[in-house]
Amino acid sequence: MADGDDVALLATVQGRFLDGLDADDDAGNDWLAAERMRWNRQLREAAVREGRRVLVAGQIEEALVLAERSLASGPDHLATWTLYLDALAATGIVTRLEDGLARLEAAGEHGSLGAAAPQGWRLLARRLRRSLEHGDPPTEPSAPTGTLPFTGRAAVLAHLQQLLRLPPQEPRRIIAVVASAGFGKSRLLRELRRRQTSAAGVMVSVDARVDEATTPFTLLNRIVDALTELPEALGIDPAEAEVLVAANPRLATRFGRHDRTAPEAPTRAALADALDELVSAVSERQPLQLVVDDAQWGDEASLTLLATAFSGQGTGQAVCLFATRDLTAAMSSQWFTLHLSSLTADDIATLLAHGVALVAGHGPPEGGGGRAPRHGRCADLRHACAAATQCPRGRRNPRR
């Protein structure tokens, strides 16, 4: 493992250390206890660094998952609490921030933060309480260095926002944004997240990863991780919570399950029911919008269960939005599909001008190894320009 590779560290055995050896086994073994403590510290610090990086990139829910992961290894780390509360503030949902503040204050009053930060937690809580009382809007994470302006997709974005608003008689909906690589799917989603901050409901964003494409349920586990961070998730049926914990043992702490015996792996049908219950619980009080970018890398098992959960007739209102290069095998006529056409020549010229100014005025983005971020590179623009006559105009599948 390369030194300082936070992503690799966090991916190692899903963050577990000495799997199969409980912490109680450390008694009488100073070396084992010291190694476990060192591992937890490394994992916590890596989670905070990676959390800060994804929060700046606008991936708020992923930052929250990393903050929770760091808190699970010990509640005495002020940097973790700062990341956690900053991410909650970035969601723009006051109730979530208030819940997080109450959690911080409970840990501080209990003495969990006393040794590490006797006054720091009070200052952090006071700052966020003041912003709530004065009605200050939460600070929006800045766009990644080198990101080009949102250009030429205003009509598509407006239509997408309209599709996210469900009529009362429709509890679930699936939307797919389809386009070739470099056509701006992720840029569209980033702008959508920015504009939806003040809208009713909660938006949860998860990116599928190419290295997980062949491992069943990996995408689903990360989505469930993110959904269970919502306060309403604690209201699901205990039997369904047991199914989720059996599929993803990391959720045991979240749901207060401390059974030391390993549960049996759930059947796919049981997992589908549990996912439906979870989606219903978190969307009952406010609409849920689950956004999955790069869905073409999602494993088949996860995509199938997601399609089932968001095509049913559960309680609440929930939308699943896929951005993908190609999901034709999984798509149904019930899905709303938007095909991104190429930008116009004028739009591409505008972006190229911004790209030249970016490189000339600021140089390559930090940490980019000489390349601008994904979907901000001139190479992507050249690709889009070359494909300008190859992509059909935007359209939508018929509803039923």
- For residue 197, the model assigns a pLDDT of 64
CA separation for the pair 358, 372 (Å, rounded):
9
SS (H, E, C) the chain: CCCCCHHHHHHHHHHCCCCCCCHHHHCCCHHHHHHHHHHHHHHHHHHHHHHHHHHHCCCHHHHHHHHHHHHHCCCCCHHHHHHHHHHHHHHCCHHHHHHHHHHHHHHHHHCCCCCCCCCHHHHHHHHHHHHHHCCCCCCCCCCCCCCCCCCCCHHHHHHHHHHHCCCCCCCEEEEEEECCCCCCHHHHHHHHHHHCCCCCCEEEEEECCHHHCCCCCHHHHHHHHHHCCCHHHHHCCHHHHHHHHHHCHHHHCCCCCCCCCCCCCCCHHHHHHHHHHHHHHHHCCCCEEEEEECHHHCCHHHHHHHHHHCCCCCCCCEEEEEEECCCCCCCCCCCEEEECCCCCHHHHHHHHHHHHHHHHHHCCCCCCCCCCCCCCCHHHHHHHHHCCCCCCCCCCCCCC
Reported as a pLDDT band with limits 50, 70 and 90, residue 376 is very low
Query: Higher-confidence residue: 28 or 128?
Result: 128
Kindly tell me if the per-residue pLDDT of 301 is higher than 90.
yes
Amino acid at 317: Q
Kindly report the CATH number that applies to the domain delimited by 154-339: 3.40.50.300
340 and 179 Cβ atoms separated by less than 8 Å: yes
In the chain, residues under CATH classification 3.40.50.300 are 154-339
Kindly tell me if the per-residue pLDDT of 19 is higher than 70.
no
- What six digits make up the tokens of 397? 């599948």
Reported as a pLDDT band with limits 50, 70 and 90, residue 137 is very low
Express each pLDDT in 52-99 by its tens digit: 888 877 788 888 888 887 887 777 777 888 888 888 888 877 878 888
Query: Higher-confidence residue: 391 or 356?
Result: 356
Query: Higher-confidence residue: 96 or 376?
Result: 96
Task: Enter the pTM of the model.
Answer: 0.55
CA separation for the pair 86, 138 (Å, rounded):
8
Contacts for 263-269 with beta carbons within 8 Å, 24 or more apart?
268/301, 268/305
- For residue 312, the model assigns a pLDDT of 79
291 and 268 Cβ atoms separated by less than 8 Å: no
